[in-house]
Structure 1
């Protein structure tokens, strides 16, 4: 509102600036959905493996998600959002009597084979021997005291080193239980169903809980299913609804879905025939999805034998590391895309076999001398050469999603502003400055800014008909960088007189 001048003197006015700096959104926030040992059931952000270990119970052989998160942070990830789904974890317990109870450290049926034997010391009423057995074979023996002067030998202190049992919460540790053999109560393993993962958008359960999360860029859902039959493997069919729902969610939230290879892809031949028949996600939604092959073998930091897991947790970490070091426009693949923590791939491939999968849109994990295990593909599920989709490459699609999400958030101030040239000029100024910043970082192809991108918002693309119905149009275009998938070196002889 114009100042009304009434008295002679100096008047001060603060004028609103047309400059509204645009800051790019995060590009490598990974959302994980699956089983965890414990923890909240609402989307929870963790910024390190230590934080996941504290909040969700760390590594657990019953949770493929826990190993995916571990691999994510090991390979360069910095921020994860975890959604815990499935039933509550059960533990076998052993009632020693007189209120003293033990709980198996391993969740589920792993603790059902435990038994405990209590033997008293006839010469000392404050001492007893506790023997823990696994399937009837003695595994651990402890000399326990309830003498207040020997606090270091009480039950809770003695079992601190046990790998099998621990006192239950609230169990007395200053009582001597009666003699005898005690068996564990039965506990069941937690199972995961497609319904658990898909969830309900109204009640915000399962992956639908991510609807309330401000932003995530990568979605990782390890396909943890048990075979329902020893003769027919139907896990891919049972998991298909999860993939479809996750793809729709990623389209709505401008994110990328990373997929493990289907269970049926256990060889190069089966992967080639399967991908030739159709990737797990087809149609337009495939632009926001990428599938990786084969599964990988990793060492178990918890001390168990090597594990065969899906690669998507590791791949998500490589995506995050590449974003940090090079930018979202750089393909997260190549000799720099090394896979930390990977012992081997379950299927070794030759160049020719890789050459059969890459044109079908399957991203392969390879192993090369010197470079070891690397990610060797960067195509979306629209990356089949026969499709000819402009969004066939992962970095091109992710850069577009990054720009879309940034501008979606950064232009909300435009709503209800007077729709005329001053507004259009402000839009061109701010959006143009953001795009120019990306150009200077090397995000676009082109020698000059005019070749690399454009921002158009003027009378030409905002006719009076659109102004009359309250619409303002801004057109933003960019020249993407395509990854150099194939390096051709031409060698010829040079004549002395040439």
Structure 2
């Protein structure tokens, strides 16, 4: 209740109606797999195009080096090709993968700066750095005020610990700042020829300058520049602090103790500043070997927020609603992905079947491992053009299917089964299944991709891997994910509100307005809103004990639309007697 202490007119706002409830996104995908570069620990990175993926994670991987584990880049490419617009990527790398570094035998700079690529991989061997002398501040000396103390025109930018150079008549002498305050600078060593250091001219010829370096980092078409960085640990422009935002390298100052009055360029390069520039090349980066890649790398480790790997890293992400690990068909990894989706209840897994399992019996062997309404399985693999080898290859369908999910959601809505949709970019299939084989696989929850003359290659199935017939359709499960996430995200305002009839009425109006809109969009079955859903909240759903313990319980029932999977036309002859 507001306080009214002085006479006047008070205008106040209050909420009287239902809070508008926005639908949650269902078309954002999450991918996990091997890549040329990218962080292997932390949070997945947002990618909105193939070019974006190439910038963050590199291009295609070699078949000879990575075999069946190389399909992340292809999966992401065909996700966007088939209608996807945004996805999050988490890279996986073998345990013996190493980042490129400058710590090679005989490197002069290795004792001063420890430089290594931002993440493991041979990509780091192409990184080049150039160090150039620079200065962030300069001034002139007006007066000698004491032993090694000088009054200058402006001491801004002169920090304690900085190395400075005094230049007069083309000769430089170096010292270090002990204190800098009120335009008085004290140096560690007195300047020689103190009578000649004063310069009161409007355009000075004798100047005191700070000594820094500018670091240029190059990788392919990428270039980063870090101007006027220092080896002064206490300064804001210390090299380790500034370069920490780099997407290419990590730089650590490993100097031990006081370096004296030596300019940072000379410390790093071992050469005089007059040299102009010093180049550093990184080496020793390794992609690792497949022998050191296991299911555990994909399943990931939970080392706490910001340090999770593999599948576990997506715990920190609450945007993704579709998950896939293209080409990885290890049952341990796939079961971990399905469990992840079930535990969070907000995402759906798309699973691949091993390419060598094409016979119905072999496919069923792999299919029978799973029983979940939060996953769907697709087969066979797709024939596409490989820009790396300039030939057609076969890739797993999960990336393309994730794009079709997104395309169907955006064009028709999540209630539309993502089936009878053309697979873009596919020129063939690894094997052709006929109707008799699909008669066996479809009821068991294996969604086939088939070729139809004049209609192209299409997804011809929309079933989950669940044995529960209530959840056998992909669109039904994903519709409920959409409803649950939308209601959860849109009713946060209810928490800690007074749990009374007024709140119950507002919650009911909020959800009723949302579900009515969903019904009008064709996602719910019924000729009226009353037939499509019901909402019960109040004394009929809560006891006094619930209210006393802070629980507000709302029971919602919806009638989802089911796909017309079997279209049957019964035809008979019409006779005159009829």
Instruction: Provide the TM-score with structure 2 as the length reference.
Output: 0.63
Alignment of 1:260-279 (within 5 A): 260-262=352-354, 265-272=357-364, 274-275=366-367, 278=368
- Give 3-state SS (helix, strand or coil) of 1:245's partner: helix
Tell me how far 1:6 sits from its aligned partner: 6.8
| Structure 1 contact 28–320 (Cα < 8 Å) conserved | yes
1:395 and 2:396 matched: no
Aligned twin of 2:145:
none
SS of aligned partner of 2:422: coil
* Alignment match, 2:370: 281
Q: Rate the CA distance shift 1:449–1:53 in 2: closer, same or farther, 3 A.
A: same
Pick the aligned partner of 1:426 from 490, 498, 506: 506
Provide the alpha-carbon RMSD of the alignment.
2.9
Q: In the alignment, what sits opposite 2:408?
A: 322
Compared with structure 1, are the counterparts of its residues 273 and 405 closer, same or farther at alpha carbon in structure 2 (3 Å cutoff)? same
Partner residue of 1:246 out of 325, 337, 346: 337
> TM-score scaled to structure 1, two decimals?
0.73
Q: Which structure 1 residue ranges, 5 or more long, are not aligned?
A: 92-106, 112-155, 161-168, 170-184, 225-235
Match of 1:484 among 564, 573, 576: 564
Deviations 1:209-252 (A, max 9, x none): 1111122111111244xxxxxxxxxxx6xx22212221121112
C-alpha distance after superposition, 1:165-220 (max 9, x if no partner): xxxx9xxxxxxxxxxxxxxx997654332111111122411111111112211111
In the alignment, what sits opposite 1:465?
545
2:72 aligned to 65, 72, 76, which one?
A: 65
Q: Distance in 1 between matches of 2:390 and 2:286?
A: 21
Deviation (angstroms), 1:90: 8.4
Q: Cα distance, 1:415 vs. partner?
A: 1.3
Please name the residue that 2:458 is paired with.
374
Deviations 1:391-415 (A, max 9, x none): 1100000000111111111112111
Q: Equivalent residue for 2:303? A: 202
The structure-2 alpha-carbon separation of the partners of 1:396 and 1:308, relative to structure 1 and needing over 3 Å to count, comes to same
Partner of 1:53: 54
Deviation sequence 1:55-99 (CA, Å, 0-9, x none): 2112233421000001100100001100011144789xxxxxxxx
Deviates more, 1:242-251 or 1:11-20: 11-20
- 1:211 is the counterpart of 2:315: yes
Deviation at 1:295, TM superposition (A): 1.7
The equivalent residue for 1:448 is 528
Contact 1:218/1:257 (8 A) holds in 2 = yes
State the aligned residue count: 390
Which structure has the bigger radius of gyration?
A: 2
Contact 1:32–1:219 under 8 Å retained in 2: yes
Cα deviation for residue 351 of structure 1 reads 0.9
Say if 1:332 and 1:4 are closer, same or farther in 2 by CA, change over 3 A: same
Which residue matches 2:22?
23
Q: Equivalent residues in 2 for 1:345-364 (5 A)?
A: 345-364=429-448
1:460 offset after TM fit, Å? 1.0
Q: SS state of the match for residue 470, structure 2?
A: coil
Moved more, 11-20 or 186-195: 186-195
Distance 1:426 1:187, change over 3 A: closer
Kindly state the Cα deviation for residue 453 of structure 1 after the two structures are TM-superposed.
Answer: 0.9
SS in structure 1 at match of 2:391 = coil
* Secondary structure, counterpart of 1:306 in structure 2: strand
Greater RCO, 1 or 2 (C-alpha within 8 Å, sep 6+):
2
| Residues 100-115 of structure 1 aligned to structure 2 (within 5 Å) | none
Q: Which runs of 5+ in 2 are unaligned?
A: 101-120, 126-217, 222-248, 250-283
Matches of 1:413 and 1:11, distance apart in 2: 26
Q: Secondary structure at the match of 1:489?
A: coil
Cα distance, 1:366 vs. partner?
A: 0.5
